[in-house]
A = this chain, B = another copy of it.
Amino acid sequence: MTGPNAIPPKASTMTLETVSASKCFGGTQYVYAHEARTTRCRMQFSAYVPPQAADGPVPVLTWLSGLTCTEENFTVKAAVQRHAAEHGLLVVAPDTSPRGEAVPDDEAWDLGTGAGFYVNATQDPWAGHYRMYDYVVEDLPDVVVANLPADMSRRGLFGHSMGGHGTLVVALRNPDHYKSVSVLAPICAPTETGLGEKVFGAYLGPDRETWRAYDATELVKDGHTCAPVLIDQGDEDEFFKMGAMKIDAFQAACAAAGQPVTLRMQQGYDHGYFFVQTFMADHVAYHAGILNG
């Protein structure tokens, strides 16, 4: 790509600005900011550095958040730090979209800022900044390994809702990067839903063939695989009940392809962070069992 939407060359140094730092469970909860190469704006992410990192690099567990979130929601609401400290994992959580005065937005809650959907947009006005797929796959790991005590040979990926979609897509397209994968209430087949048609149409244009690269179910059908996937899903989740998750379609594709999936339906739980918080210990332990194993 050339012209005004061209991506700058990879900087030889990647400077992190510390937005905040607070001791938590013997480690430190940071919020950092940096100039992102792919999204061409200042991006924030949070990083919990566990006490074990004082003795050397530790595994990295990256969380992808859902619609409307910044890096803050997960960081303050998921109660992940206790478990990260117990298991010695560095937990990284990026924002869900580019932000700033130069970044296009939309009045809708499900398009524009807070709704990057982990795609590389190709359509105006989004193509210049909305490159969250590349941000998660390239920029974020680059800046993490350059600045934090991260063992990049032991990486896990997890996420919630739109971030569950992002987790599955990123893991399926980069199976060598992530040894462990889990999701809570994930959007599993966005191209089969009205929401997916709206946002993929806006970001990627009308050619549905280009959407397949960002649909976990289609990726599995196309032969992509990744580490075994743990899924927790509440049966009182309003989005699940309206059919937005399509976990059944993902399960069917995985069964046909031999991709291991464990789905745990959780009775009475809804879509929010009280659900996420409840099963956070299980998810961190699942990743730690693989990454520390």
Residues on A facing B (Cβ under 8 Å): 22-26, 29, 76-77, 79, 81-82, 234, 236, 268-270, 272-275, 277-278, 281
18 pairs across A/B with beta carbons < 8 Å?
Answer: A22-B274, A23-B268, A23-B269, A23-B270, A23-B274, A24-B277, A24-B278, A25-B277, A26-B278, A76-B76, A77-B77, A79-B79, A79-B82, A79-B277, A81-B274, A81-B277, A81-B278, A82-B278
Selected contact of A25 from candidates B25, B81, B278, CB within 8 Å: B278
Give the residue name and chain of the B residue nearest to A236 (CB): B23
Chain B residue numbers with a CB within 8 Å of A272 are 22
Q: How far is the CA of A24 from the CA of B273 in the complex (A)?
A: 9
Copies of this protein chain in the complex: 2
CB nearest neighbor in B for A269:
B23
Question: Which chain B residues lie closer than 8 Å to A24 at the CB level?
Answer: 274-275, 277-278
A79 to B281, CA, bound (A): 12
Q: Which residues of the other chain, B, contact A77 by a CB distance below 8 angstroms? A: 76-77
B274, A29: Cβ atoms closer than 8 Å: yes
Minimum Cβ distance to chain B for residue A77 (Å): 5
Q: Indicate if the CB atoms of A22 and B82 lie closer than 8 Å.
A: no
Q: Give the residues in chain B near A82, CB-CB below 8 Å.
A: 79, 277-278, 281
Closest to A75 in B: B274
A234 to B26 CA separation, bound complex (whole angstroms): 12
- Nearest B residue to A270 via CB reads B22
**Shortest Cβ distance from residue A161 to the other chain B in the assembled complex, whole angstroms:** 15
Chain B residues with Cβ below 8 Å from A274 are 22-24, 29, 81
* Residues on B with beta carbons closer than 8 Å to the beta carbon of A281: 82
- The interface centre, meaning the residue of A77, A268, A274 with most chain B CB atoms within 10 A of its CB, is A274
Q: What distance in Å separates the Cβ of A163 from its nearest Cβ neighbour in chain B?
A: 18
Q: A29 CB to closest chain B CB, in angstroms?
A: 5
Specify the chain B residue showing the minimal Cβ separation from A26: B278
Chain B CB within 10 A, most for which of A22, A25, A26, A275: A22
- Name the residue on B nearest A276 (C-beta): B24
In the bound complex, do residue A76 and residue B23 qualify as a contact, i.e. CB atoms below 8 Å apart? no
Q: In whole angstroms, how far apart are the Cα atoms of A77 and B75 in the complex?
A: 9
- Give the shortest distance, in Å, between A36 (CB) and chain B (any CB): 25
Q: Which 4 A-B pairs have the closest CB atoms?
A: A79-B79, A24-B274, A22-B274, A23-B268
